[in-house]
């Protein structure tokens, strides 16, 4: 009996031991489950939050768990604020007092601080240099001398070159009306079959003129004639695509199509730079038309003398109308296109000869000598004319 009792006690001991071991293992396992997650404090823009993270963890896993993408700073231009460099500055990541990177391991209780990279504005550089002269009026109906550049100190963005500040050291000289005996011939509505005849007369007389061309004529032979005009050194001018004499009353879309379209035809079909001048068909002008030309960097070129050659008066009548109205700075309106130009062709030579006999010199409105320079019409020994004062209102074109 005593033997059986000992045996029972042994079994109980074994069972108890097994039970204790199992319980111990279970509790150890429970303890290890509790250790698996670590607590990290995330500090971003002064906002703190705690996160429970599974080890092993790095800065990257903490940020991914928090759904945080630290902001990368951009470099912005000083004038317009456009982005010059994306990723100009990286955000800083700090664990305590150590700057770390995304791969750095984090341990329980760590405090991860994100310092976002701010956008930066580029620096500026100051330089002294020429500043452009005050511009010509938006609309001219007689010849103007361009002004003279001034001197100034200009602050620009280091990278963008954007101008942010300008200090005048010496002011520019404003443009001024021509008061010397300089005049200009302008020819409208070409190219046309008579254009080569006009060119021949101008070549013989050694005169440069301005040709205000209509876009729709720039086809086939018209292109050849127009290229001859440009090739012989005459000045080109935009006279719209379709020669709408009432453009000022049309919607902006039509004004754009006619003015911008005319420039595109001239530059594309002739391979020239955009002309500096716009001449409105029929003189049809409005603030919208002027603004559209200005936006195309064009001055509206009106005229001083309109002898109505398009109405085909006798050549002698065209000549006398021009000569009777001639004055310094005059812009003479004639036509190389738009119909039979026999009377105009017969008038050009006498106009040139008679004007020259009176001491006039022919120039183009883009090549007038600047204010203060000896003019083409003035004797070289004469003193330069003093700069003129600010112009008054413009006269009406014909
Ligand atoms: Zn015209």
pLDDT band at 344 (very low <50, low <70, confident <90, very high): very high
pLDDT at site 388? 45
Cα(175) to centroid of ligand 1, in Å? 27
Confirm whether 340 is a catalytic residue. no
**pTM attached to this predicted model:** 0.68
Q: Is the pLDDT of residue 179 over 90?
A: yes
Cα(150) to centroid of ligand 1, in Å? 37
**For 272-294, what is each residue's pLDDT tens digit?**
999 999 999 999 999 999 999 99
Active-site residue, from 239, 244, 335, 336: 335
Q: Residue 92 in contact with residue 107, Cβ under 8 Å? A: no
- Render the burial of 325-348: b for 16+ CB within 10 Å, e for the rest: ebebbbbbbbbbbbeebebbbebb
pLDDT at site 6? 62
- Ligand 1 (ion): which residues have CB within 5 A? 188-189, 281
Q: Is the pLDDT of residue 76 over 60?
A: yes
Active-site residue, from 188, 244, 306, 336: 188
pLDDT at site 18? 55
Cα(377) to centroid of ligand 1, in Å? 29
Cβ neighbours for 208, distance < 8 A, ≥ 6 positions apart: 202, 233, 234, 235, 362, 363, 364, 367
Cα(350) to centroid of ligand 1, in Å? 23
| Minimum mean pLDDT range among 240-244, 365-369, 392-396 | 392-396
Cα(310) to centroid of ligand 1, in Å? 9
Cα(189) to centroid of ligand 1, in Å? 5
pLDDT at site 392? 35
DSSP for 307-371, written as a single string: --GGG---HHHHHHHHHHH--TTBEEEEESSSS--HHHHHHHHHHHHHHHHTT-EE--TTSPPPT
pLDDT band at 396 (very low <50, low <70, confident <90, very high): very low
Q: Is the pLDDT of residue 391 over 60?
A: no
Alpha helices in 238-303 (DSSP H): 252-270, 287-295
**Secondary structure (3-state) at 172:** coil
Q: Residue 259 in contact with residue 240, Cβ under 8 Å? A: yes
Cα(190) to centroid of ligand 1, in Å? 9
| pLDDT cut 90: percent of the chain above it | 74
If you average pLDDT over residues 122-127, what whole number do you get?
Answer: 94
CA–CA gap between residue 56 and residue 97 (Å, rounded): 21
| pLDDT cut 70: percent of the chain above it | 86
CA–CA gap between residue 337 and residue 343 (Å, rounded): 12
Phi and psi of 92, rounded to 5°? -100, 140
Cα(181) to centroid of ligand 1, in Å? 26
Confirm whether 335 is a catalytic residue. yes
Cα(369) to centroid of ligand 1, in Å? 27
């Amino acid at each position: 009996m005593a033997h059986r009792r000992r045996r029972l006690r042994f079994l109980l001991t074994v069972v108890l031991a097994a039970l204790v071991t199992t319980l111990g293992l279970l509790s150890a396992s429970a303890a290890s489950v509790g250790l698996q997650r670590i607590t990290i404090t995330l500090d971003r823009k002064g906002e703190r939050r705690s996160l429970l993270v599974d080890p092993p963890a790095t800065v990257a896993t903490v940020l991914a768990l928090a759904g945080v993408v630290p902001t990368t700073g951009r470099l912005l231009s000083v004038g317009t604020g456009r982005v010059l460099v994306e990723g100009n500055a990286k955000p800083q990541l700090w664990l305590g007092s150590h700057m770390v990177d995304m791969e750095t391991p984090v341990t329980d209780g760590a405090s991860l601080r994100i310092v976002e990279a701010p956008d930066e504005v580029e620096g500026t550089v100051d330089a002294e240099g020429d500043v452009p002269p005050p511009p010509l009026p938006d609309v001219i109906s007689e010849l103007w001398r361009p002004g003279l550049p001034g001197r100034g100190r200009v602050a620009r963005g280091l990278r963008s070159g954007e101008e942010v500040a300008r200090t005048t050291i010496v002011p520019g000289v404003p443009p001024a009306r021509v008061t010397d005996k300089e005049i200009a011939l302008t020819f409208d509505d070409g190219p046309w079959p008579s254009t080569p005849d006009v060119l021949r007369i101008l070549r013989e007389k050694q005169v440069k003129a301005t040709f205000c061309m209509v876009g729709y004529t720039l086809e086939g032979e018209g292109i050849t004639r127009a290229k001859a005009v440009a090739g012989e050194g005459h000045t080109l001018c935009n006279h719209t695509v379709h020669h709408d004499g009432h453009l000022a009353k049309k919607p902006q879309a039509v004004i754009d199509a006619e003015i911008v379209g005319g420039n595109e035809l001239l530059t594309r079909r002739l391979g020239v730079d955009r002309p500096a001048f716009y001449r409105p068909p029929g003189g049809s002008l409005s603030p919208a038309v002027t603004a559209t030309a200005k936006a195309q960097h064009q001055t509206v070129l009106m005229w001083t003398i309109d002898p109505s050659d398009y109405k085909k008066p006798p050549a002698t009548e065209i000549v006398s109308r021009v000569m009777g109205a001639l004055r310094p700075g005059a812009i003479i309106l004639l036509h190389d296109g738009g119909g039979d130009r026999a009377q105009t062709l017969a008038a050009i030579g006498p106009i040139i000869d008679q004007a020259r006999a009176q001491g006039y010199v022919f120039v183009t409105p883009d090549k007038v000598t600047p204010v203060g320079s000896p003019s083409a019409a003035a004797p070289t020994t004469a003193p330069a004319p003093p700069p003129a004062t600010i112009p008054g209102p413009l006269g009406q074109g014909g």
